[in-house]
Amino acid sequence: MGPYVINAEHLTKRFGDQTVVDDLSLSIKKSEVFGFLGPNGAGKTTSIRMMAGLLRPTSGRVFLDGAETVSARKEQIGICPQEIILWNALTCRENLAFMGKTYRVRACDLRERIERLLTLLSLSDQADQVASNLSGGMKRRLNIALALVHNPEIVFLDEPSAGLDPQTRQLLWDFIRSLRDDEGKTIVLTTHVMEEADALSDRIAIIDHGKLLRLDTSTNLKKTLGKGDIIELLLADRRRNGAVLRRLRGIKGIEEVYELKGRVAVRALNAASRLPSVINLIESTGGRVADITIHGNTLEDVFIHLTGRALRD
């Protein structure tokens, strides 16, 4: 990956007495997928709106290719918001043509770009349908195509897979990767879905309450918890979770114990070998295990480690 193309310096945004983004500084490399991961309301959307020049920060500055956003070339940026914004009376092809003309894309380039986007986003069969007749997933894909029809260098995608079924989500993920790998674009996306950030992002910024908590690759973020796997246990009676958690914290070799979505979670080295003793302890308190899963550290585990609460709380 090449040099940094986006530099945010001490970005802060306040709405009245509420600080939505709090002293955010980071740099984004050319031709990388950069993910903002955090729960709803963490400040992700506000952050990228300031980076894209749609929202003026209370304080701080953003530079795109060395130029402040106020003087940056608007055609180098593509923006796909969370909200689906289409011209409902126009067909897919007409939506794209209209947007391309607003950016003064040459007619021959525009035709080629439209057909390519329709193909890549599996909208060719719906090209001549009016937008109002499209399914929710098709509207979402068309919304993304509109952000790309002028062939921008930097693309901001705000919760791009919201509401998509698993098959369509995988299509979109493949498309986002192709924008980076085949076209060399810089992609900045927000998500509150751990799997999406993990699957797509070269680097991930974990953000909560407007603050940057950690920025690194997914692999390195997971390493911040040290070695060890996670055992998740669903008790038949969840009211016993608290008593079980207190007892487990006293066992030597267990590094961390917490509650996650109604389950008791235990992190330990060689976790599988500790399972019998964990189950025995639970049963000694009168509890019964209804379900068990074991997995390696995840981004959600990192978030819990940093904030003390689940990512989707």
Closest to 196 in 3D by CA, of 27, 49, 36 = 36
Per-residue pLDDT, 254: 87
Q: How many domains does the chain have?
A: 2
Q: CA 191: distance to chain centroid? A: 2
Q: Tell me if 11 is assigned to some domain.
A: yes
Per-residue pLDDT, 72: 63
Do 265 and 210 share a domain, yes or no? no
Per-residue pLDDT, 1: 46
Do 208 and 232 share a domain, yes or no? no
Residue-range definition of the domain harbouring residue 287: 227-296
The Cα–Cα gap between 259 and 242 comes to 8
The CATH number covering residue 277 comes to: 3.30.70.920
Of the three residues 222, 245, 279, the one that is the final residue of a domain is 222
Q: Tell me if 109 is assigned to some domain.
A: yes
Per-residue pLDDT, 2: 52
Do 135 and 260 share a domain, yes or no? no
Residue with tokens 């918890």, as numbered in its chain: 225
Here the tokens at position 86 are: 């289409």
Do 122 and 26 share a domain, yes or no? yes
Do 9 and 147 share a domain, yes or no? yes
Q: What is the pLDDT along the chain (313 residues), one digit of tens a residue?
A: 458 999 999 999 999 999 999 999 999 999 999 999 988 889 999 999 999 989 999 999 999 988 787 666 778 999 999 999 999 999 999 999 999 999 999 999 999 999 999 999 999 999 999 999 999 999 999 999 999 999 999 999 999 998 888 999 999 999 999 999 999 999 999 998 889 999 999 999 999 999 999 999 999 998 887 667 889 999 999 999 999 999 998 888 888 898 988 999 998 887 888 889 899 989 988 899 999 999 888 888 888 888 877 776 5
Do 191 and 257 share a domain, yes or no? no
Do 96 and 238 share a domain, yes or no? no
Per-residue pLDDT, 272: 82
Do 141 and 287 share a domain, yes or no? no
The CATH number covering residue 169 comes to: 3.40.50.300
Q: % helix / strand / coil in the chain, to the nearest 5? A: 40, 30, 30
Closest to 191 in 3D by CA, of 144, 218, 159, 156 = 159
